[in-house]
Amino acid sequence: MRDQNDVVIKIRDLRKSFRNNDGVEAVVLDQITFDIFRGETLVIMGGSGCGKSTLLNCLIGEYDVTAGEIVYKTKDMPAPKNIVGMNEQGLNDIRKRFGILFQSGALFNSMTLAENVALPLREHSYVDPSIIDIVVTLKLQQVHMLPHRDKLPSQLSGGQKKRAGLARATVLDPEILFYDEPSAGLDPVTSAAIDELIIDLSKKLAVTSIVVTHEMDSAFRIADRMVMLERGRVLKVGTRAEFERLRDAPVESLSSEAERLMNQFLNGRTIGPLTDSDGTSEYEKLLVLSRASAY
């Protein structure tokens, strides 16, 4: 049993809905409840349209939450803070405690790699300008990108952009790191190298890592625990070993619809309770219809 004093993020009864121009509401997340513990690597997974990216955006304060709580308790906080309903200044104070690796890397094309990594230090810290280059050098060394420091993003490969984004995400020495589909668009070898880098940095920097992905090879390489989402709800929170047993279990031995659904997803089968006859979940169809005019 985990010590509740080790909880760094507590999510309780989280609900997020979108309403389109016709007034139709789609509940994208419903009754999401789980804890994230200090120092662990937690993988949030599920099929396309299951709500995992929306959940990430709620956790970083990018989306307003319809109901529920997202409570942070980092080491330097005298008391837990609920970010739901928090003003932008308060959110920015919380955001300084975490880093984000976006799916695309999200580098500024007009800046060199070194300038991209230095930007958070220049904007959000009191580090002396003479020290910034030293810090940038150290962070680029950690992700094996120092020889490319003077290149522009257009001169980098997809994997190099992910490494560069990770250097920037860690430059303020965050306690928490969020990863949005870190393996997306990468070949298997580069994907495995990024996974090894995530594991290495998690150990060296002693950070809490939250990884949103639907890449199962990656998920089972890096996770300490996993959260499985489907149709905007949590199906299961468990250790990697628990999900491995569920993945490897014969379908006929599974006693519930939820277990059969997770078994299908974890094994990448096209036939099963997760999909209908055309391979698309009804939940995903609902989201496409309801969110088409929501923005």
Residues 138-150 pLDDT 10s: 999 988 899 999 9
* Structural domains of the chain in order of their starting residue, each with its CATH number: 4-97+174-291 (3.40.50.300)
pLDDT at residue 114 in the model: 93
Q: Which tokens is 51 given?
A: 């709500």
Long-range own/partner contacts, residues 146-151 (CB < 8 A, 24 or more apart): 148/113, 149/112, 149/113, 149/114, 150/112, 150/113, 150/114, 151/112, 151/113
Q: Which tokens is 95 given?
A: 């955001």
pLDDT at residue 292 in the model: 46
Q: Which tokens is 266 given?
A: 């974890």
Q: How far apart are CA 2 and CA 209, in angstroms?
A: 17
pLDDT at residue 246 in the model: 94
What's the residue count for the chain? 295
Strands of the 208-213 sheet, one edge to the other: 98-101, 176-180, 208-213, 41-45, 225-230, 233-239
Q: Which residue has the higher pLDDT, 124 or 207?
A: 207
Q: How far apart are CA 259 and CA 250, in angstroms?
A: 11
Query: Pairing between strand 25-37 and 208-213?
Result: unpaired
pLDDT at residue 186 in the model: 83
Q: Which helix (H) or strand (E) holds 19?
A: strand 7-19
Q: Is the pLDDT confidence value at 56 over 90?
A: yes
- The arithmetic mean of pLDDT across residues 45-64, rounded, is 91
CB atoms within 10 A of CB 191: 20
Q: How far apart are CA 7 and CA 248, in angstroms?
A: 30
| Range in 3-12, 19-28, 39-48, 147-156 the model is least confident about | 19-28
Q: How far apart are CA 235 and CA 218, in angstroms?
A: 20
Q: How confident is the model at residue 244 (pLDDT cuts 50, 70, 90)?
A: very high
- The arithmetic mean of pLDDT across residues 110-137, rounded, is 87
Instruction: Count the alpha carbons within 13 Å of 38 in the hemisphere toward its beta carbon.
Output: 13
Q: Is the pLDDT confidence value at 102 over 50?
A: yes
- The arithmetic mean of pLDDT across residues 182-190, rounded, is 85
- CA nearest neighbour of 96 among 68, 112, 74: 74
pLDDT at residue 210 in the model: 96
Q: How far apart are CA 204 and CA 146, in angstroms?
A: 18
Q: How far apart are CA 204 and CA 143, in angstroms?
A: 12
Q: Is the pLDDT confidence value at 294 over 60?
A: no
3-class SS at 105?
A: coil
**For residues 233 and 44, is the Cβ–Cβ distance under 8 A?**
no
pLDDT at residue 278 in the model: 47
Phi, psi dihedral angles at 21 (to 5 degrees): -65, -20
What residues form DSSP beta bridges with 239? 225
3-class SS at 117?
A: helix
Alpha helices by DSSP H, listed for 74-227, are 88-95, 113-124, 129-142, 158-169, 188-205, 216-222
